[in-house]
Amino acid sequence: MALLHIIPYNTKIDFVKLRVVSFAISIIIVLATVFSLSTKGINYGIDFLGGYIFEVRLKEKPDVHQLREKLGNLGFGEVAIQTFGDDQDVLIRLERKEESDDAQQKVLSTVKSALGADVEYRRVETIGPKVGNDLVKNGIKAVAFALLAMLLYIALRFEWQFAVCAIIALIHDSIAILGLFTVFGLEFKETAIIAILITAGYSINDTIVIFDRIRENIRKFKKMPMNELINKSVNETLSRTMLTASTTLLAVLALYFFGGNVISEFSLPILIGIIIGSFSSICLAAPLLTYLNVKRGEGSDGKKGKASLSGDANTDVIRR
């Protein structure tokens, strides 16, 4: 009936066998991130470092070179100037040097007088380095506790093996997003933490849907070898994984292309994060289970399990 059949069903992809490839990809991503972190580091935004941001709209198209010279000569160190949106919009960033209140106000007034009167100030931000430090600490704490709480819940609802695999996948996702920031030198702001959280939330959702099916199949097919069972479960849920990834990606794409500056910048890591999250659920979390000895119930044959499926679907709520 449906008009669209882009998402196949009845797939029989051997994800467990392909784990050699997927693990290799993940290890490369993690190693690249670690390498980039130790050599390039993270391009922290002023949210974290402290500093100044001026977003101004000029009356006419600015001469960036001239503007850079004018502001560079003020003696506030490195000045980053960037035009965007309508060509009249300019983003100016200054790093913070001094702590004192007076110095802060001086920078504000000097830059303002250098830019002249014919400017509309769309956004002005001044952030002390202390605020940034707190932000990092709170952000890391929040993410760590959130991961821990989810780990506990999964361990309670499933077996501990599932929790371990889910968390490995989650940590992998967080590292991969961090890698996106460090390898491509994207500016790391407070919203980047939210992007990591969204990715983590999406990924855990995805992983649990697959784990749920594995748990169900473990009960149903008590004699089926684990590798085969995991493959079956991942393939059965593959259409759902792809569909949900598609709808979410559609939403993020809309944000990326039409959400305006700030939202657009924020959407890019989420866009990548959803792809990574789906990948890690299918190709990492599920195949990883083969390495941990998941407890199986005492075996009977599979056919019986299947019969009981249509059995309890015909419950008393249904009448024809």
Q: Which of residues 192-211 bind other proteins (CB under 8 A)?
A: 193-194, 197-198, 200-202, 204-206, 208-209
| Phi and psi at residue 56, to the nearest 5° | -125, 150
Among 13, 28, 64, 131, binds other proteins (CB under 8 A): 131
| CB of residue 286 to other proteins, shortest distance in Å | 15
Among 17, 31, 149, 301, binds other proteins (CB under 8 A): 149
| CB of residue 210 to other proteins, shortest distance in Å | 10
Asked if 277 contacts 203 with a C-beta cutoff of 8 angstroms, the reply is yes
CA distance 83 to 43: 19
| Phi and psi at residue 58, to the nearest 5° | -95, 160
Local structure of 308: helix, strand or coil: helix
What is the crossing angle of helices 160-183 and 260-280, to 10°?
140
Interface with other proteins, residue 219, by CB under 8 A:
no
Residues 161-190 that bind other proteins (CB under 8 A): 190
| CB of residue 65 to other proteins, shortest distance in Å | 25
Interface with other proteins, residue 314, by CB under 8 A:
yes
Nearer to other proteins, 73 or 205 (CB): 205
Q: Which residues contact 147 (CB under 8 A, 6 or more apart)?
A: 167, 170, 171, 200
Question: Both tokens of residue 235?
Answer: 């393939």
Question: Both tokens of residue 164?
Answer: 């371990």
Question: Both tokens of residue 104?
Answer: 């802060």
Question: Both tokens of residue 229?
Answer: 């069972």
Asked if 245 contacts 278 with a C-beta cutoff of 8 angstroms, the reply is yes
How would DSSP label each residue in 177-192? HHHHHHHTT--B-HHH
Residues 15-54 that bind other proteins (CB under 8 A): none
Among 55, 229, 282, 286, binds other proteins (CB under 8 A): 55
Among 123, 223, 303, 304, binds other proteins (CB under 8 A): 123
Contacts with other proteins by CB under 8 A: the residue count is 89
Residues 85-104 that bind other proteins (CB under 8 A): 101, 104
Among 157, 219, 223, 304, binds other proteins (CB under 8 A): 157
| CB of residue 79 to other proteins, shortest distance in Å | 19
Q: Which residues contact 37 (CB under 8 A, 6 or more apart)?
A: 178, 182
Among 23, 95, 187, 212, binds other proteins (CB under 8 A): 212
| CB of residue 231 to other proteins, shortest distance in Å | 16
CA distance 224 to 216: 13
| CB of residue 41 to other proteins, shortest distance in Å | 23
Nearer to other proteins, 176 or 198 (CB): 198
**N residues, the chain:** 320
What is the crossing angle of helices 160-183 and 129-157, to 10°?
150
| CB of residue 36 to other proteins, shortest distance in Å | 25
Residues 230-269 that bind other proteins (CB under 8 A): 236-237, 239-240, 243-244, 246-255, 257-263, 266-267
Among 71, 79, 127, 285, binds other proteins (CB under 8 A): 127
| CB of residue 204 to other proteins, shortest distance in Å | 5
